[in-house]
Structure 1
Amino acid sequence: MAEPRDVVRIPDAKVALSTASVYPESTATAFEIAARLGYDGVEVMVWTDPVSQDIEALRRLSDYHRIPILAVHAPCLLITQRVWSTDPWTKLQRAQAAAEKLGAGTVVVHPPFRWQRQYARDFVEGVWRMAGETDVRFAVENMYPWRYRDREMLAYAPDWDVTKEDYRHFTIDLSHASTARTDALQMIDRMGDRLGHVHLADGRG
Protein backbone atom coordinates (compact mmCIF):
# COMPACT_ATOMS: atom_id res chain seq x y z
CA MET A 1 0.00 0.00 0.00
CA ALA A 2 1.32 3.42 -0.93
CA GLU A 3 2.32 5.72 1.88
CA PRO A 4 -0.13 8.62 2.37
CA ARG A 5 0.99 12.07 1.34
CA ASP A 6 2.17 14.40 4.04
CA VAL A 7 -0.69 16.43 5.44
CA VAL A 8 -0.32 20.14 4.77
CA ARG A 9 -1.73 22.22 7.59
CA ILE A 10 -2.42 25.90 7.05
CA PRO A 11 -2.82 27.79 10.33
CA ASP A 12 -5.76 30.16 10.52
CA ALA A 13 -6.86 29.48 6.93
CA LYS A 14 -10.15 31.23 6.22
CA VAL A 15 -12.93 29.86 4.02
CA ALA A 16 -14.69 32.37 1.77
CA LEU A 17 -17.72 32.09 -0.48
CA SER A 18 -17.13 33.37 -3.99
CA THR A 19 -19.82 35.69 -5.25
CA ALA A 20 -19.46 33.89 -8.60
CA SER A 21 -20.61 30.63 -7.00
CA VAL A 22 -24.16 31.89 -6.47
CA TYR A 23 -24.71 32.83 -10.14
CA PRO A 24 -27.28 33.68 -11.46
CA GLU A 25 -28.02 35.27 -8.10
CA SER A 26 -26.47 38.65 -7.32
CA THR A 27 -23.37 39.80 -5.49
CA ALA A 28 -25.59 41.07 -2.67
CA THR A 29 -27.19 37.63 -2.35
CA ALA A 30 -23.74 36.06 -1.97
CA PHE A 31 -23.03 38.21 1.08
CA GLU A 32 -26.35 37.22 2.66
CA ILE A 33 -25.71 33.51 2.01
CA ALA A 34 -22.13 33.67 3.28
CA ALA A 35 -23.24 35.32 6.51
CA ARG A 36 -26.14 32.92 7.04
CA LEU A 37 -24.02 29.81 6.45
CA GLY A 38 -21.12 30.96 8.60
CA TYR A 39 -18.38 31.54 6.04
CA ASP A 40 -15.34 33.49 7.19
CA GLY A 41 -15.76 35.98 4.36
CA VAL A 42 -16.37 36.41 0.65
CA GLU A 43 -14.33 36.56 -2.52
CA VAL A 44 -15.77 39.21 -4.82
CA MET A 45 -15.78 38.34 -8.51
CA VAL A 46 -15.74 41.69 -10.30
CA TRP A 47 -17.97 41.23 -13.31
CA THR A 48 -21.13 42.52 -14.99
CA ASP A 49 -23.12 42.96 -11.75
CA PRO A 50 -22.72 46.71 -11.06
CA VAL A 51 -22.52 46.10 -7.30
CA SER A 52 -19.40 43.97 -7.78
CA GLN A 53 -17.71 46.96 -9.45
CA ASP A 54 -18.64 49.50 -6.75
CA ILE A 55 -16.23 49.67 -3.80
CA GLU A 56 -18.61 51.64 -1.58
CA ALA A 57 -21.51 49.29 -2.30
CA LEU A 58 -19.28 46.34 -1.41
CA ARG A 59 -18.17 48.04 1.79
CA ARG A 60 -21.80 48.60 2.80
CA LEU A 61 -22.64 44.95 2.16
CA SER A 62 -19.63 43.84 4.18
CA ASP A 63 -20.57 46.12 7.08
CA TYR A 64 -24.26 45.23 6.99
CA HIS A 65 -23.68 41.46 7.02
CA ARG A 66 -20.61 41.74 9.26
CA ILE A 67 -18.60 39.57 6.92
CA PRO A 68 -15.21 40.60 5.53
CA ILE A 69 -14.07 40.63 1.93
CA LEU A 70 -11.04 38.35 1.84
CA ALA A 71 -10.23 38.43 -1.88
CA VAL A 72 -11.01 40.38 -5.04
CA HIS A 73 -11.10 38.53 -8.36
CA ALA A 74 -9.97 40.91 -11.10
CA PRO A 75 -12.33 41.21 -14.11
CA CYS A 76 -10.34 39.11 -16.57
CA LEU A 77 -13.05 36.87 -18.05
CA LEU A 78 -14.26 37.01 -21.64
CA ILE A 79 -17.52 38.56 -20.43
CA THR A 80 -15.72 41.26 -18.43
CA GLN A 81 -13.47 42.68 -21.14
CA ARG A 82 -15.06 46.14 -20.71
CA VAL A 83 -15.53 46.09 -16.94
CA TRP A 84 -13.56 48.90 -15.23
CA SER A 85 -11.48 49.38 -18.39
CA THR A 86 -10.49 47.72 -21.64
CA ASP A 87 -6.84 47.99 -20.55
CA PRO A 88 -5.80 44.87 -18.58
CA TRP A 89 -3.21 46.69 -16.45
CA THR A 90 -5.80 49.25 -15.41
CA LYS A 91 -8.04 46.38 -14.34
CA LEU A 92 -5.28 45.02 -12.10
CA GLN A 93 -4.56 48.45 -10.66
CA ARG A 94 -8.22 48.95 -9.83
CA ALA A 95 -8.44 45.45 -8.34
CA GLN A 96 -5.43 46.26 -6.16
CA ALA A 97 -6.99 49.55 -5.06
CA ALA A 98 -10.28 47.80 -4.29
CA ALA A 99 -8.52 45.12 -2.24
CA GLU A 100 -6.57 47.72 -0.28
CA LYS A 101 -9.66 49.81 0.46
CA LEU A 102 -11.79 46.80 1.39
CA GLY A 103 -9.15 45.07 3.50
CA ALA A 104 -8.81 42.06 1.20
CA GLY A 105 -5.47 40.29 1.25
CA THR A 106 -5.56 38.75 -2.23
CA VAL A 107 -6.23 39.73 -5.83
CA VAL A 108 -6.93 36.70 -8.02
CA VAL A 109 -5.89 37.15 -11.64
CA HIS A 110 -5.90 34.94 -14.72
CA PRO A 111 -2.99 34.74 -17.15
CA PRO A 112 -3.60 36.83 -20.29
CA PHE A 113 -5.42 35.62 -23.35
CA ARG A 114 -3.05 34.93 -26.23
CA TRP A 115 -4.51 37.75 -28.31
CA GLN A 116 -3.47 40.22 -25.57
CA ARG A 117 0.04 40.06 -26.97
CA GLN A 118 1.75 43.02 -25.32
CA TYR A 119 0.07 42.34 -21.99
CA ALA A 120 1.15 38.69 -22.21
CA ARG A 121 4.75 39.63 -22.99
CA ASP A 122 4.96 41.89 -19.95
CA PHE A 123 2.69 39.92 -17.62
CA VAL A 124 5.12 37.98 -15.42
CA GLU A 125 7.40 40.96 -14.84
CA GLY A 126 4.46 43.34 -14.46
CA VAL A 127 2.73 41.24 -11.82
CA TRP A 128 5.99 41.00 -9.87
CA ARG A 129 6.36 44.78 -10.06
CA MET A 130 2.82 45.41 -8.82
CA ALA A 131 3.21 42.84 -6.04
CA GLY A 132 6.28 44.69 -4.83
CA GLU A 133 4.27 47.88 -4.37
CA THR A 134 1.59 46.53 -2.02
CA ASP A 135 0.90 44.06 0.77
CA VAL A 136 -1.89 42.55 -1.35
CA ARG A 137 -1.00 39.18 -2.91
CA PHE A 138 -1.44 38.85 -6.67
CA ALA A 139 -2.27 35.14 -6.92
CA VAL A 140 -2.19 33.98 -10.55
CA GLU A 141 -4.74 31.25 -11.23
CA ASN A 142 -4.26 28.02 -13.17
CA MET A 143 -6.44 27.78 -16.26
CA TYR A 144 -6.97 25.07 -18.92
CA PRO A 145 -6.76 24.47 -22.67
CA TRP A 146 -9.95 25.13 -24.60
CA ARG A 147 -11.34 22.06 -26.35
CA TYR A 148 -13.88 21.40 -29.06
CA ARG A 149 -14.43 17.75 -29.96
CA ASP A 150 -10.94 16.41 -30.66
CA ARG A 151 -9.31 19.82 -31.04
CA GLU A 152 -7.44 21.76 -28.40
CA MET A 153 -6.67 25.47 -28.38
CA LEU A 154 -4.14 27.15 -26.11
CA ALA A 155 -5.99 30.33 -25.20
CA TYR A 156 -3.72 31.64 -22.44
CA ALA A 157 -0.22 33.08 -22.44
CA PRO A 158 2.43 32.55 -21.31
CA ASP A 159 0.63 29.28 -20.43
CA TRP A 160 -2.54 27.94 -18.84
CA ASP A 161 -0.28 25.98 -16.45
CA VAL A 162 0.91 28.89 -14.35
CA THR A 163 3.53 26.77 -12.58
CA LYS A 164 5.66 27.04 -15.72
CA GLU A 165 6.30 30.69 -14.86
CA ASP A 166 7.92 32.42 -11.90
CA TYR A 167 5.03 34.07 -10.05
CA ARG A 168 5.24 35.22 -6.46
CA HIS A 169 1.86 33.71 -5.56
CA PHE A 170 -0.54 31.24 -7.13
CA THR A 171 -4.22 30.38 -6.98
CA ILE A 172 -5.08 26.72 -7.50
CA ASP A 173 -8.56 26.21 -8.94
CA LEU A 174 -9.54 22.56 -8.65
CA SER A 175 -12.29 22.74 -11.27
CA HIS A 176 -9.81 24.26 -13.73
CA ALA A 177 -7.34 21.47 -12.97
CA SER A 178 -10.10 18.96 -13.66
CA THR A 179 -10.99 20.66 -16.94
CA ALA A 180 -7.31 20.64 -17.92
CA ARG A 181 -7.15 16.92 -17.04
CA THR A 182 -4.13 17.57 -14.89
CA ASP A 183 -3.21 16.23 -11.46
CA ALA A 184 -4.14 18.97 -8.99
CA LEU A 185 -1.97 17.52 -6.21
CA GLN A 186 1.09 17.53 -8.46
CA MET A 187 0.32 21.12 -9.42
CA ILE A 188 0.04 22.06 -5.74
CA ASP A 189 3.42 20.41 -5.13
CA ARG A 190 4.94 22.55 -7.89
CA MET A 191 3.41 25.69 -6.40
CA GLY A 192 4.91 24.89 -3.02
CA ASP A 193 4.91 27.70 -0.49
CA ARG A 194 3.88 30.18 -3.21
CA LEU A 195 0.34 28.78 -3.11
CA GLY A 196 -1.60 31.69 -1.68
CA HIS A 197 -5.24 30.99 -2.53
CA VAL A 198 -7.43 27.97 -3.26
CA HIS A 199 -10.65 27.68 -5.27
CA LEU A 200 -12.44 24.57 -4.02
CA ALA A 201 -14.92 23.07 -6.45
CA ASP A 202 -16.44 19.76 -7.45
CA GLY A 203 -15.48 19.55 -11.10
CA ARG A 204 -15.38 16.62 -13.47
CA GLY A 205 -13.77 18.50 -16.35
Structure 2
Amino acid sequence: MHAMQYEITLPADYDMGIIRDRVATRGHLLDDFPGLGLKAFLMRERAGGSPVNQYAPLYLWAAPEGMNSFLWGPGFQGIVDDFGRPDVQHWTGAAYHEGPAAAAAARTAVRRSQRLPAGARPGPLIEEAAAETERLARRDGVVCAALGVDPRRWELLYVTLWDHDFPTAVGDHYRVLHVSAPERAGLSRGRHW
Protein backbone atom coordinates (compact mmCIF):
# COMPACT_ATOMS: atom_id res chain seq x y z
CA MET A 1 0.00 0.00 0.00
CA HIS A 2 1.06 3.54 -0.67
CA ALA A 3 -0.79 6.56 0.80
CA MET A 4 -1.02 9.86 -1.08
CA GLN A 5 -2.74 13.19 -0.45
CA TYR A 6 -2.74 16.69 -1.83
CA GLU A 7 -4.38 19.63 -0.14
CA ILE A 8 -5.92 22.50 -2.04
CA THR A 9 -6.53 25.34 0.39
CA LEU A 10 -9.16 27.73 -0.92
CA PRO A 11 -10.05 31.35 -0.04
CA ALA A 12 -12.15 31.95 3.06
CA ASP A 13 -15.09 33.14 0.93
CA TYR A 14 -14.82 30.31 -1.64
CA ASP A 15 -18.13 28.67 -2.51
CA MET A 16 -17.51 25.10 -1.32
CA GLY A 17 -20.58 24.05 -3.30
CA ILE A 18 -18.23 24.10 -6.30
CA ILE A 19 -16.19 21.30 -4.69
CA ARG A 20 -19.33 19.33 -3.81
CA ASP A 21 -20.53 19.64 -7.43
CA ARG A 22 -17.09 18.66 -8.76
CA VAL A 23 -17.09 15.47 -6.71
CA ALA A 24 -20.75 14.71 -7.52
CA THR A 25 -20.09 14.92 -11.26
CA ARG A 26 -16.53 13.53 -11.45
CA GLY A 27 -16.00 11.31 -8.40
CA HIS A 28 -17.41 8.21 -10.05
CA LEU A 29 -14.67 8.38 -12.72
CA LEU A 30 -12.27 6.63 -10.30
CA ASP A 31 -14.73 3.95 -9.20
CA ASP A 32 -12.91 1.41 -11.42
CA PHE A 33 -9.41 2.93 -11.64
CA PRO A 34 -6.75 0.16 -11.86
CA GLY A 35 -4.41 -0.02 -8.87
CA LEU A 36 -6.56 2.23 -6.66
CA GLY A 37 -7.37 0.64 -3.35
CA LEU A 38 -9.36 3.56 -2.05
CA LYS A 39 -9.81 7.26 -2.71
CA ALA A 40 -11.68 9.34 -0.15
CA PHE A 41 -12.80 12.68 -1.58
CA LEU A 42 -12.26 14.87 1.48
CA MET A 43 -13.32 18.44 2.20
CA ARG A 44 -13.33 20.70 5.22
CA GLU A 45 -14.80 24.17 5.49
CA ARG A 46 -14.57 27.19 7.69
CA ALA A 47 -18.36 27.27 8.00
CA GLY A 48 -18.10 23.86 9.69
CA GLY A 49 -15.45 24.94 12.21
CA SER A 50 -12.31 24.20 10.21
CA PRO A 51 -9.55 26.82 10.18
CA VAL A 52 -9.55 26.63 6.35
CA ASN A 53 -11.63 25.78 3.31
CA GLN A 54 -9.87 22.83 1.78
CA TYR A 55 -10.27 20.07 -0.78
CA ALA A 56 -7.91 17.26 0.23
CA PRO A 57 -8.41 13.90 -1.51
CA LEU A 58 -6.67 10.96 0.13
CA TYR A 59 -5.60 7.83 -1.76
CA LEU A 60 -4.54 4.36 -0.64
CA TRP A 61 -2.93 2.72 -3.65
CA ALA A 62 -2.87 -1.06 -3.98
CA ALA A 63 -0.25 -0.81 -6.74
CA PRO A 64 2.34 1.89 -7.53
CA GLU A 65 1.54 1.60 -11.24
CA GLY A 66 -1.97 2.87 -10.49
CA MET A 67 -0.59 5.87 -8.60
CA ASN A 68 1.83 6.69 -11.40
CA SER A 69 -0.87 6.29 -14.04
CA PHE A 70 -3.08 8.71 -12.13
CA LEU A 71 -0.35 11.32 -11.50
CA TRP A 72 0.93 11.33 -15.09
CA GLY A 73 -2.49 10.95 -16.68
CA PRO A 74 -5.66 12.97 -17.25
CA GLY A 75 -7.03 12.47 -13.70
CA PHE A 76 -4.43 14.58 -11.94
CA GLN A 77 -4.13 16.92 -14.93
CA GLY A 78 -7.72 17.98 -14.22
CA ILE A 79 -6.63 19.14 -10.75
CA VAL A 80 -3.61 20.94 -12.22
CA ASP A 81 -5.78 22.65 -14.85
CA ASP A 82 -8.35 23.85 -12.30
CA PHE A 83 -6.23 24.63 -9.22
CA GLY A 84 -2.56 24.62 -10.22
CA ARG A 85 -0.11 21.84 -9.41
CA PRO A 86 -0.29 21.05 -5.68
CA ASP A 87 2.44 19.36 -3.68
CA VAL A 88 1.63 15.66 -3.48
CA GLN A 89 2.44 14.16 -0.11
CA HIS A 90 3.05 10.43 0.00
CA TRP A 91 3.79 7.80 2.60
CA THR A 92 4.88 4.20 2.49
CA GLY A 93 2.08 2.02 3.79
CA ALA A 94 2.81 0.52 7.20
CA ALA A 95 -0.60 -0.88 8.25
CA TYR A 96 -4.20 -1.16 7.10
CA HIS A 97 -7.25 -2.55 8.89
CA GLU A 98 -10.94 -2.80 8.14
CA GLY A 99 -13.15 -1.67 11.03
CA PRO A 100 -16.43 -2.91 12.49
CA ALA A 101 -18.32 -0.56 10.11
CA ALA A 102 -16.38 -1.70 7.01
CA ALA A 103 -19.57 -2.23 5.02
CA ALA A 104 -20.96 1.23 5.86
CA ALA A 105 -20.51 4.43 3.88
CA ALA A 106 -17.74 6.67 5.22
CA ARG A 107 -19.00 10.08 6.33
CA THR A 108 -15.99 11.53 8.18
CA ALA A 109 -12.23 11.14 7.91
CA VAL A 110 -9.73 11.97 10.63
CA ARG A 111 -6.12 12.58 9.65
CA ARG A 112 -3.31 12.96 12.17
CA SER A 113 0.39 13.29 11.55
CA GLN A 114 3.18 12.82 14.06
CA ARG A 115 6.91 13.37 13.70
CA LEU A 116 9.19 10.73 15.15
CA PRO A 117 11.59 12.19 17.73
CA ALA A 118 15.06 12.93 16.36
CA GLY A 119 17.54 10.23 17.28
CA ALA A 120 14.85 7.70 18.20
CA ARG A 121 15.04 4.20 16.76
CA PRO A 122 12.28 4.10 14.11
CA GLY A 123 11.53 0.36 14.29
CA PRO A 124 9.96 0.23 17.77
CA LEU A 125 8.08 3.50 17.20
CA ILE A 126 6.57 2.30 13.93
CA GLU A 127 5.74 -1.05 15.53
CA GLU A 128 3.79 0.80 18.25
CA ALA A 129 2.11 3.04 15.67
CA ALA A 130 0.97 -0.06 13.77
CA ALA A 131 -0.46 -1.49 17.01
CA GLU A 132 -2.21 1.85 17.69
CA THR A 133 -3.71 1.76 14.18
CA GLU A 134 -5.05 -1.74 14.84
CA ARG A 135 -6.58 -0.62 18.17
CA LEU A 136 -8.13 2.41 16.48
CA ALA A 137 -9.61 0.21 13.74
CA ARG A 138 -11.52 -1.80 16.36
CA ARG A 139 -13.50 1.22 17.58
CA ASP A 140 -17.23 1.36 16.90
CA GLY A 141 -18.03 3.28 13.74
CA VAL A 142 -14.64 2.79 12.06
CA VAL A 143 -14.83 1.89 8.37
CA CYS A 144 -11.06 1.50 7.99
CA ALA A 145 -7.80 2.77 9.43
CA ALA A 146 -4.40 3.14 7.76
CA LEU A 147 -0.88 4.07 8.82
CA GLY A 148 1.73 5.55 6.50
CA VAL A 149 5.35 6.56 7.08
CA ASP A 150 7.29 9.30 5.31
CA PRO A 151 10.91 8.17 5.87
CA ARG A 152 12.29 11.40 4.40
CA ARG A 153 10.76 13.49 7.19
CA TRP A 154 10.20 10.59 9.63
CA GLU A 155 6.55 11.43 9.91
CA LEU A 156 3.68 9.06 10.67
CA LEU A 157 0.28 9.51 9.05
CA TYR A 158 -2.80 8.05 10.72
CA VAL A 159 -6.01 8.07 8.66
CA THR A 160 -9.35 6.76 9.84
CA LEU A 161 -12.66 6.72 7.98
CA TRP A 162 -15.79 6.75 10.15
CA ASP A 163 -19.43 5.98 9.42
CA HIS A 164 -20.70 8.96 11.45
CA ASP A 165 -20.12 12.67 11.87
CA PHE A 166 -17.97 14.19 14.60
CA PRO A 167 -16.00 11.23 15.96
CA THR A 168 -14.01 11.96 19.09
CA ALA A 169 -10.71 10.94 17.47
CA VAL A 170 -7.86 13.46 17.63
CA GLY A 171 -6.73 15.05 14.36
CA ASP A 172 -7.99 17.09 11.44
CA HIS A 173 -11.59 16.22 10.60
CA TYR A 174 -12.88 16.12 7.02
CA ARG A 175 -16.26 15.49 5.41
CA VAL A 176 -16.16 12.48 3.06
CA LEU A 177 -17.99 13.43 -0.13
CA HIS A 178 -17.45 10.15 -2.00
CA VAL A 179 -15.31 7.03 -1.80
CA SER A 180 -13.98 5.20 -4.84
CA ALA A 181 -12.68 1.80 -3.80
CA PRO A 182 -12.15 -0.42 -6.85
CA GLU A 183 -9.34 -2.49 -5.30
CA ARG A 184 -10.00 -2.00 -1.58
CA ALA A 185 -10.13 -5.77 -1.14
CA GLY A 186 -6.57 -5.88 -2.51
CA LEU A 187 -5.13 -3.63 0.23
CA SER A 188 -2.95 -5.81 2.46
CA ARG A 189 -4.43 -6.20 5.93
CA GLY A 190 -2.39 -5.82 9.09
CA ARG A 191 1.09 -4.43 9.30
CA HIS A 192 3.08 -4.26 6.06
CA TRP A 193 6.39 -5.80 7.02
Relative to the length of structure 2, the TM-score reads 0.28
- Look at both structures and tell me which one has the larger radius of gyration over its CA atoms: 1
Which structure has the highest helix share of the two? 1
Q: TM-score, normalised to structure 1's length?
A: 0.27
Structure possessing the higher relative contact order (Cα contacts under 8 Å, 6 or more residues apart): 2
